[in-house]
Structure 1
Amino acid sequence: MKWFLFFVFVCCVIAGGYLYWQWYWPNSTIVEPSMKGLEKPIYYKGKLYEVSASGEKESLKLPLSFMQEVVDPDIRYEKESQSVILTTKDKVVRLKTNELTAVVNEKPFELKFTVDQQDDTVLIPMEPVLDLYRLQIKESEETGVVTIHKEGDTIRWGTVSGQPGEKAKAIRSEPTIKAPKYRDLDPGESVMIWSALEEWYEVQLSNGWVGFMKKEHVVPGQEEVIPVEPEKPGFVPKPLDGGKINLTWQQVYNRNPDTSQIGPMPGLNVISPQWFHLENEEGLLKNMADASFVQWAHSQNYQVWALVTNSFDPKRTSEALSTYDRRMNMIKQLVTFGKMYQLQGINIDFENVYLKDKENMVQFVREAVPLLHEQGLVVSIDVTVKGGSETYSLFMDREAIGPLVDYMMVMTYDEHWASSPKAGSVASLPWVEKGIVRIMEEDGVPPSKLVLGVPYYTRIWTEEIKDGKTEVSSKAVSMEKIQDLIKEKQLTPAFDEKTGQNYVEYTEDGKKIKIWIEDATSIRSRAELVNKYNLAGIASWSRGFETPDIWEVIKETLAQP
């Protein structure tokens, strides 16, 4: 019996010892991190990325995919031109694969190392881009691990607990004592703490390895913030008389207007002539500019923000936007025209664009702005209200373009367009207000950048019953023609609360005529929206459709506090 009890006791001791070893005895196996087989691993904020760097020190290159994910999502690689394109507020950098000559704002500079392409991986040399993104890069001579820090990042430091000479503490592959350890750390050694998991910290060593240490073995210390260099002063548009923008577009089809026939436009401070038009797929622009028009405008104290269109040709536009060389062809012409004609700005009016070209449209603006700003040119872009077809509205990424340009002109017209199946206002007040508010709220474009585009034209709608169905047609006319029509027909307009406009209708030859009138009343209410939301100003399409009193209406309304 005693022997049996002794045997049971021994078994219990053995079982207890096994269980203790199984659950509580730390694993003493030492391994190295697998690094997922990467030759030169990259870590950012304790995360191992599944791509490898190449080279070392000044020849270090990082994969494009890593740079896009961590550093700048707008870094672009174009297969067609085998180019890496990097943009900042004031620089456009192009690095071509396997070429040692790059360009910054189209000025050449020499590289020590090229962009490489290895299978599907594009590798970017760090030496020319460190100043662009102000990265801190640490390479471990021991492990080859590359650790990246960006300006503004916060690093929480910790120290291995204990006194000198005390037992070292393990860093392990998983947050459990049964996981193999990478090494033992002496008391006082520094680690970077990236996260906390119950009783464990995820930490990174100076050699780049990331593992887990028990919280009781790490004393959290100070936080280090990677210094942020002060932003260099950016481009600032020249001040305008009256403060707010009061711009009008000048239509130019076959020839420029006779400026001697243009009457006073009190309060106007910017005129935007329709001068440059995309002529072919290579980005050649048709130039209809007139130096004498600029001289006249300047004599009237108007700035000139020349308008460039894509000729509203989607196929031609698609080709012209498709590569760096074609986009830059357009941009360099605009820079040249800016110098040649002493312009103060460029107004981009690209309409009727395929949805598939949405990103290329943004890239064109992203590349154009630094070069145009370098020449002192204000950059504005025309956008529709949100809604409608792909080529009308959806192709324009207002959220992405808003931070790039100086101003965004919101063309709050046509609510009811020329071939609309239903008669209605060109731009009712509620529709206008909703359109501008949506861009502020949904796309984050600040009011200080938004310019309210208003129509000077009115549509005369004709409704005719044919075969029991109502057919609708319209024609656009000037404010003056509407006033002449009202006098001729001896009509009495009534104010329409729903649209915020004067309205008139009459019957002629069995047809019903409907007119939502653009006049001082409607323009004043739009200008009041500029004040209500503290927008940058107002823009009108287009000069020549207004009556003379409109200029004083806008001037007086914008001047109100």
Structure 2
Amino acid sequence: MKKILVTLLILTIAISIYLYIQKPNKEIISISDEIYLVIEDNIIIEDNPVIIEDDMIYISFDIIKEYLDPDLFYDLNEETIIFTDKEKVRRFKIGHKKATVNYKEFNINNPIKKIGEKVYIPKEVLINNYDININYIEETKAIVLDKNHLNYVQGEVIMEGADIRINFDKKSPIVLKDVPVETPVIVFEELDNWYKVRTYHGIIGYIEKKYLKINLTNDVYKVELESREKEDRNGEKINMTWDYTNRKVVSIDNIDYIYGINIVSPTWFSISDNMGNILDKGNLEYVEKYKSLGYKVWPLIDNGFDPDLTYELLSSSKSREQVIERIVQIYDEYKVDGINIDFENVYLKDKDLLTQFVRELYPIFREKGMMVSIDVTPISISENWSLSLDRKRLSQAVDYVMLMAYDQHWASSPVAGSVSQYSWVEESLLKILQEVPNHKLILGVPFYTRLWKLEKSNGGEQVSSQALSMEGANNFIKENNVELEWDEESGQYHGETVKEGITYKIWVEDAKSLKLKSSLVNKYDLAGIASWRKGFETEEVWPAISNMIKLN
């Protein structure tokens, strides 16, 4: 008898525990007693993300940057907010009703506010800069921000007794009880027997599947509409050459047809001081002559490879604005077709400032119908020459990215070697392709080599080098009877000789080596090729490159 009573007691306890576990929580709570912000399926309450003043909604800068636009820029010193996209750069001074778009003034009714240390952007500004809707739901105190270019899966309540809970668990508190039949909801995700949903009043939570009918015409719960950039390439690969100019161009007598080339980039411009003055070596007749031959002209502008000067220019929004205005004015005067930006030796701390500079420049050039390209080095551990380049974000802000796939062994390298061996070029290319899409990437190849000189010195070896054009390299090889052998790894002819106890080594760039490197354009379907530099080549190089990338 005692065993039966114990068994009944255990069974009773077990049933009670089971019923307790199965009994739903009936507690009803509100999401917030204060105004709160909803972005997609995120509820944002902490740290005053949103305010309402004089019936105008203001959302904090930090929230917009985190959830909507990581490229939104705030210049703390100049109290300026800068919005950039492919077509426009808009500048707003905090507290001011005047703003600019692509250097043209306009007025706003509600200026950006600064309350304490927090910056708030009004709805008026936000909906004019982003494809979004912002609505205040007085019933729930929710301010709902939705992106117009997103398609959400729609659901509909089909049974009475539906509750929306804080979590996907019956023991979780209720945030909306007895949701009426036919109530529409947005469905974000599926978890066990639950859906994560949001009502059109800004209530977010979980509802049991049995209460909901959803439209599963899409595979996923959020579908971002594709917006691909139209490529005006007509299937033609870019074949550009840099035309190095060390002084003002005064004569165009040496300009002639170049086989296969479609773009020339003269190195005409350099920012010369922290006032944004620009050294100008250009010539309008040069542009007109090349255009008459059917070529486009994208002059290069550099930063003088001066990191301190670059910092002074980039760190101020006003300085960036002024120098961009000066650059576009000069390029417009020369009636060129594009710009090639070559900013090198930049402090790592200025990485984001460089990207911001390019983002602010691009819309102005686009408005003028000019293409924008930027030169980048292979990925390495060098702070000033590599890590300071945010290649992924830069590629999103320009039309083309030129990979300068040379100087593998640079002028002062402690080790003699190729300027651009094939295996190294391909390895560098593959790394870059992880950050830059192939349809924007242009492979830069060298028309020069280095003659290495190895001398015994104090029990060691002193290494020095001299840059040679292709003709210069051929002359050295011929004059010194250097025997060449094909090196598979470098994809080049290699030779060395000893004169008066000094060893000379050379890895040759010629039509064969460049044809091999050019084949990478086809292999990875790149946007094209660029060569440094015009005047260092031998004539047979042009058709070798052009025919390989199938231009002719």
- Answer whether contact 2:346 2:384 (CA < 8 A) is retained: yes
Residues 155 and 215 in structure 2, CA contact (< 8 A), matched pair in contact too: yes
Instruction: Give the match's secondary structure for 2:110.
Output: coil
Deviations 1:19-50 (A, max 9, x none): 899767666665433x2x6x420112332113
Residues 1:235 and 1:99: Cα distance change in structure 2 (over 3 Å)? farther
AA at the equivalent of 2:505 = K
Deviates most, 106-115 or 524-533:
524-533
Partner of residue 481 from structure 2, selected from 486, 490, 507: 490
- 2:276 aligned counterpart, secondary structure: coil
Task: Return the alpha-carbon distance in structure 1 between the equivalents of residues 257 and 290 of structure 2.
Answer: 12
- 1:104 is the counterpart of 2:101: yes
Aligned residue runs from structure 1 range 61-76, under 5 A:
61-76=58-73
Q: Aligned pair in 2 of structure 1 residues 293, 535: CA closer, same or farther (>3 Å)?
A: same
Counterpart pick for 2:284 among 291, 294, 298: 291
The answer as to 2:316 corresponding to 1:323 is: yes
**Aligned-pair distance for 1:408?**
1.2
- Mapped to 1, the partners of 2:314 and 2:192 lie a distance apart of 53
Pick from 256, 271, 288: which aligns with 2:249? 256
What is the aligned partner in structure 1 of residue 201 from structure 2?
207
1:407 corresponds to 2:400: yes
Note the C-alpha offset of 1:131: 4.3
Structure 1 residue 44 corresponds to structure 2 residue 26? no
Whether the aligned pair in 2 keeps the contact of 1:409 and 1:452 (CA below 8 Å) is yes
Residue 273 (structure 1) aligns with: 266
SS of 2:414's equivalent?
coil
- Using the alignment, how far apart are the partners of 1:253 and 1:395 within structure 2? 27
- After TM superposition, list the pairs within 5 Å mapping 1:4-19 onto structure 2: none
Is 1:90 the counterpart of 2:87 in the alignment?
A: yes
Q: Does the 8 Å CA contact 1:95/1:102 hold for their aligned counterparts?
A: yes
User: How far is the alpha carbon of 1:186 from its aligned partner?
Assistant: 4.0
Find the aligned partners of 1:127 and 1:229 in 2 and give their Cα distance. Answer: 24
1:518 and 2:516 are equivalent in the alignment: no
Q: Structure 1 pair 505/450, CA: closer, same or farther in 2 (3 Å)? A: same
Q: How does 1:422-501 map to 2 (within 5 A)?
A: 422-440=415-433, 442-443=434-435, 445-501=436-492
Give, in angstroms, the shift of residue 179 of structure 1. Answer: 3.8
Question: Could you tell me how far apart the structure 2 residues matched to 1:250 and 1:297 are?
Answer: 12
Work out the number of aligned pairs and report it: 536
- Asked if 1 retains the 8 angstrom alpha-carbon contact of 2:166 and 2:172, the reply is no
2:152–2:186 contact (8 Å) kept in structure 1? no
- What corresponds to 1:532 in structure 2? 523
* Aligned residue type for 2:114: Q
Give how far 1:475 is off: 0.8
* TM-score under structure 2 length normalisation: 0.88
2:203 counterpart letter in structure 1: W
Q: Indicate conservation of the 8 Å contact 2:495/2:507, yes or no.
A: yes
User: Which deviates more from structure 2 when the two are superposed, residues 171-180 or residues 316-325?
Assistant: 171-180
Q: Is the contact between residue 84 and residue 359 of structure 2 (CA under 8 Å) also seen in structure 1?
A: yes
Q: What aligned pairs does 1:239-388 form with structure 2 within 5 A after superposition?
A: 243-256=236-249, 258-262=251-255, 264-388=257-381
User: Match for residue 158 of structure 1?
Assistant: 156
Deviations 1:241-283 (A, max 9, x none): x932221111122232643135542222211111111122243
CA deviations over 1:73-122 (Å, ceiling 9, x no partner): 11121102212211222111222211111111221111111111112321
* 8 Å CA contact retained: 1:338, 1:377: no
AA at the equivalent of 1:95: F
Q: In angstroms, what is the RMSD of aligned CA positions?
A: 3.1
Larger radius of gyration: 1
In structure 1, C-alpha distance between the alignment counterparts of 2:105 and 2:373, rounded to whole Å: 28
Q: Equivalents in 2 of 1:482, 1:48: separation in Å? A: 67
Secondary structure of residue in 2 paired with 1:54:
strand
Q: Which residue of 2 is the match for residue 138 of structure 1?
A: 135
The residue aligned with 2:6 is none
Contact 1:149–1:226 (CA<8 Å) still a contact in 2? Answer: no
Contact 1:380 1:407 in 2 (8 A): yes
Structure 2: distance between partners of 1:234 and 1:57: 42
CA distance in 2, matches of 1:30, 1:456: 74
Contact 1:172 1:212 in 2 (8 A): yes
CA offset at residue 191 of structure 1? 4.1
Whether contact under 8 Å (1:158, 1:193) holds in the other structure is: no
Asked whether the 8 Å contact 1:40–1:52 carries over to 2, the reply is no
Q: 1:294 and 1:191, CA in 2 relative to 1: closer, same or farther beyond 3 A?
A: closer
Q: CA deviation at 1:485?
A: 2.1
Contact kept in structure 2, 1:312 and 1:352, CA below 8 Å = yes
In structure 2, do the counterparts of structure 1 residues 310 and 227 end up closer, same or farther at CA, with 3 Å as the change threshold? same
Once the two structures are TM-superposed, the CA of residue 514 in structure 1 deviates from its matched residue by: 0.8
What letter corresponds to residue 516 of structure 2 in structure 1? S
Relative to structure 1, the CA distance from residue 435 to residue 32 in structure 2 (aligned partners, 3 Å threshold; closer, same or farther) is closer
- Name the TM-score, length of structure 1 as normaliser: 0.87
Cα displacement (A) at 1:234: 5.4
CA distance in 2, matches of 1:172, 1:518: 69
CA distance in 2, matches of 1:61, 1:79: 19
Distance in 1, Cα, partners of 2:299 & 2:166: 63
Greater mean deviation of Cα atoms: 304-313 or 530-539: 530-539
Structure 2: 5+ residue runs without aligned partners?
A: 1-8
Counterparts of 1:395 and 1:257 in 2: how far apart (Å)? 36
In structure 2, what residue type is equivalent to 1:54?
I
CA distance in 2, matches of 1:346, 1:337: 11
CA contact (8 A) 2:355 2:394 kept: yes
Residues 235 and 332 (structure 1), Cα distance of their counterparts in 2 relative to 1, 3 Å cut: farther
Aligned-residue offset at 1:145: 0.8
Q: CA–CA distance in 1 between the matches of 2:59 and 2:360?
A: 23
Give the counterpart of 1:395 among 388, 391, 398: 388
Q: Which residue, 77, 81, 86 being the options, matches 1:80?
A: 77
Percent identity of equivalent pairs: 35
